[in-house]
Amino acid sequence: MIPRSSLRLPFALLALGATAGSLFAQAPKAKAAAPAAGSRAAMAALATPTDPATLQAAPGFKVELLYTVPKEEQGSWVSLAVDPKGRILAADQYGAIYRVTVPAVGTSEGTKVERLAATLPAVTKSPEADPTASTPKRAQSADGASPAFGAHGLLYAFDSLYVMVDEVPGKQGVWRLRDTKGTDQYDEVTFLRGMKGSGEHGPHSLVLSPDGKSIYFANGNHTDLPNHLEKSRAVRWDEDHLLPRMWDARGHAKNKFAPGGYVGRMDPDGKTVELFALGFRNHFDIAFDQNGELFTYDSDMEWDQGAPWYVPTRINHVVDAGDYGWRSGAGRWPAYYADSLPASLDIGPGCPTGTVFGTGAKFPAKYQRALFACDWTYGTLYAVHLNPDGGTFRGEKEEFLSGKPLPLTDLIIHPKDGAMYFTVGGRKTQAALYRVTYTGTDSTAPVKALAPTPEAKLRHTLEALHAEGTGPEAIAIAWPHLASPDRFVRFAARAAIERQLPENWANRALNEKNPQAAIEALIALARVGEKYYQPRVIESLLKLDFAQQPAALQLPLLRAWQLTFTRMGKPDAATCARLAAKFDPLFPHTDALVNRELLSLLIFLDSPTVVAKTVPLLSVSEPIVTTPEELGGAKLAARNDNYGKVVNDVSSGRSDRQQIAYAYALRNATVGWTPKLRTEFFSWFPRTTPWRGGASFTGFIQNIRTESLAHVTDPAEAAALNALSKPPAASFASGGYSPKGPGRNYTTAEATELAQGKLTGRDFAQGKALFSAAACIICHRFNNEGGGIGPDISGAGSRYSVKDLLENIVEPSKVISDQYESLQLDLANGSTVVGRIVGEENGELLVMSNPFMPEEKTKVKASDVKSRKVYPVSMMPPGLINGLNPEELKNLLAYVLSGGNAQDKMFAK
């Protein structure tokens, strides 16, 4: 991505203090006297989104800035839709909904913006909404009517505007707005369905079904299923961890269980809601292609980077009854689990937001068929070209558009002019509306949908059998396709079988001769059958000699064994010993992934030999071929010396994920230890100290150590092993650098005026030293180093303007992501504890209150907590930059905005 240019288009200031229903128009104005520093007018004058001329766009495409959103009046826009008159509807993340009339293509002036007069009424809280979701930083309308909708999703359909309310406490869910009087305003506001969830992982976007009869919606992994869920395409989902799962080391999404993030659909009146697919982390949007195939761009858990369970952001083909494997903490399923579905494309670290297909765009053919996916963190709009691959698709990504900063939130293809419109904003950052048109020479004639593959047609036939009430004839139709070479066809067939009563097909599963079909059928029986089937399932699985199976069947076979135990329980000791003897000779295997699953299985079965065979493997480095996805995308990878190389050691800070996988499993082993093996095992932990990863990486390693020590029963041995394996205290030294000053009490306006457009000829070394000296590194991850108290700011330059970044520094309590907010715990004895809950042990909450001493925790008995609510003050103290002189401040800002890239143009002399 290119550095931010100091060139700016002449943006007009907006009228301040507008009321509902008034119009905002942006057009050139005569130059006025400079406003006083720090005033509302001064802040508005600094509201300058990224100049379109500095954006990198695909050849032949033109980008125009149509509207700069006045943040103090209209907030930060995150969702778009189009009404029948061609006007764009835009939602402020924490506020109202706006209607935008855009100028004709070929002109860029005269954009008109009107705030809708509709309000959320004061209604009785739905039992499906979350009555505890009270937070001062979000929209404030729980006590009465308010223009604040706090919407994450908008859809115009069925002569109505559907709104997915997220940020208004007690009113989360789907609302329907209608114009019943012909006044061009929405006078009827109806609550349809509640969604228990809120915030950045709450209920999100809405889209119309391809047949125009229903509405699909995307909900993040902190959103429970709606109460009284009427239907579900999937059946009997569960956690399915053979060994105990370790929750996130920093407490994120603890006690959040399957289905996690999900896709649902409902009728236009919200009377019937059906679960369509599950197992996502936090997909903000969904989109249908020309053939009615559904796709999404799902988020990663960036705190897991470096761990074997890390999964990058990815494009998923969302199919009927699909499970995409998100399980909280270290329980994230690998893509090879047979009872889940893989991605069409791994993107890499990022923050997915809006998605849309290019259908209807006046673009060249390949872009009409492309899925456009927004990354908020790294300011990149991807064009994902999806190629049919049997029953699914394989994607290729193209960086269609990028810029710094460009915090992309949503986008649409306008049905009338064929242009693309996108917004930037989110988390109260500077928002704006842009338009993309094609000005090249390639044909933009509409293209037809590609013909579905035979496998896709078959998959659709099988998916029709997922409906509730389907009769046993589905068994005969689906069964032959359990042996299909196509994974998506097999999945659809198994899902159809699982809906039928097991007694109607269990014998067929137990006697199936085709290995592929037998594995799928036995997985189905393990998932939905009663426990009394387990002995027969075990005997049937034993007939599938693991060593004789082709490589493609070995991991699915191991998953069938796992599910037999996760769903039906642990067999008696004699059976476990018999099975351990069967699998012991297979370990270690030549395939690293097979090794992971064999190890878990053998530990579960109490193998007496597996510990002795595994501990020595903690000294063997795993060869790793680095990929752009792991290193943050092609642009970041190009700056990394290890890109594309096979790394056989971890001296560069890369973690050995295979060793971590072994240690993670060994923490559960209780059989086969000797003092020598324990010493060798615990000697491994200090060797991990140089390894780098996400914010939870170090905590996961230490939790593996803590749980392993808990199995050492001899106090003296435990004390010795604790001393042997104890990590050194974390240190983020400044290198002895101290700011020269003199400092000043910076305001956002003053600091922005000082730095905006003036970050050239900067000193990289001083900026890097100041990042530590100003205590930034204590709380923030930056290129896989630093603390994890606050957000990772490695990609800050791609999502924050100078003004937005400084606002976050100078006024840290103005906007606090719900992932980093603190809680106020009011105790039964009348006292109060404020801080972030980072864990729970033996009925006690572990509360971290001091970001500069995160290792210190206050223990609070959960039973003593009378109430809890969000605390409106950030853990980040204000004034951290007040010790810097102007030149030092500019060097620090350049370092952060460059992403730590010494080659950035800001450092050119």
pTM of the model: 0.87
Q: What is the pLDDT of residue 228?
A: 87
Pairing of strands 294-298, 286-288: antiparallel
Residue 859: CA count within 13 A, CB half-sphere: 5
Type of residue found at 667: R
Query: Bridge partners of 864?
Result: none
The long-range contacts involving 632-636, CB below 8 angstroms and separated by at least 24 positions, are: 632/348, 632/349, 632/378, 632/794, 632/795, 633/347, 633/348, 633/349, 633/350, 633/378, 633/380, 634/399, 635/1, 635/399, 636/899
In the DSSP assignment, the letter for residue 907 is G
Q: Are 491 and 473 in contact (CB under 8 A)?
A: no
The β-bridge partners of 294 are: 288, 318
Residue 825 pLDDT: 86
**Quick check: 854 and 847 in contact, CB under 8 A?**
no
Q: How far apart are the C-alpha atoms of 46 and 43, rounded to whole Å?
A: 5
Sign of the CA dihedral running 318, 321, 324, 328 = positive
Note whether 142 and 129 are within 8 A (CB).
Answer: no
Give, as one character, the DSSP assignment of residue 555: H
495 and 466 Cβ atoms separated by less than 8 Å = yes
Q: How far apart are CA 321 and CA 344, in angstroms?
A: 17
Peptide bond into 480 cis (omega under 30): no
**591/614 Cα distance (integer angstroms):** 14
Query: 397 and 628 in contact (C-beta within 8 Å)?
Result: no
Whole-angstrom distance, CA of residue 882 vs CA of residue 867: 36
Single-letter amino acid code for the residue at 715: P
Q: Is the peptide bond before 349 cis (omega within 30 degrees of 0)?
A: no
Angle at CA 437, nearest 5°, toward 432 and 441? Answer: 160
Contact 434, 402 (CB under 8 A): no
The vertex-72 CA angle with 69 and 77, nearest 5°, equals: 40
Sheet with 188-194, side-by-side order of all strands: 151-157, 160-165, 173-178, 188-194
**What backbone phi and psi angles, to 5 degrees, belong to 65?**
-90, 120
In the chain the first and final C-alpha atoms are separated, in Å, by 20
Measured CA angle at 733 (ends 639, 249), to 5 deg:
75
pLDDT digits (tens, 9 = 90+) for 493-503: 999 999 999 99
Q: How far is CA 717 from CA 610, 676, 722, 723, 905, in A?
A: 22, 11, 8, 10, 56
| Residue numbers in the chain where pLDDT is lower than 50 | 1-22, 27-34, 37, 124-145, 625-626, 628-651
pLDDT score, position 243: 98
Chain CA centroid to CA 395, Å: 19
CA distance 506 to 525: 7
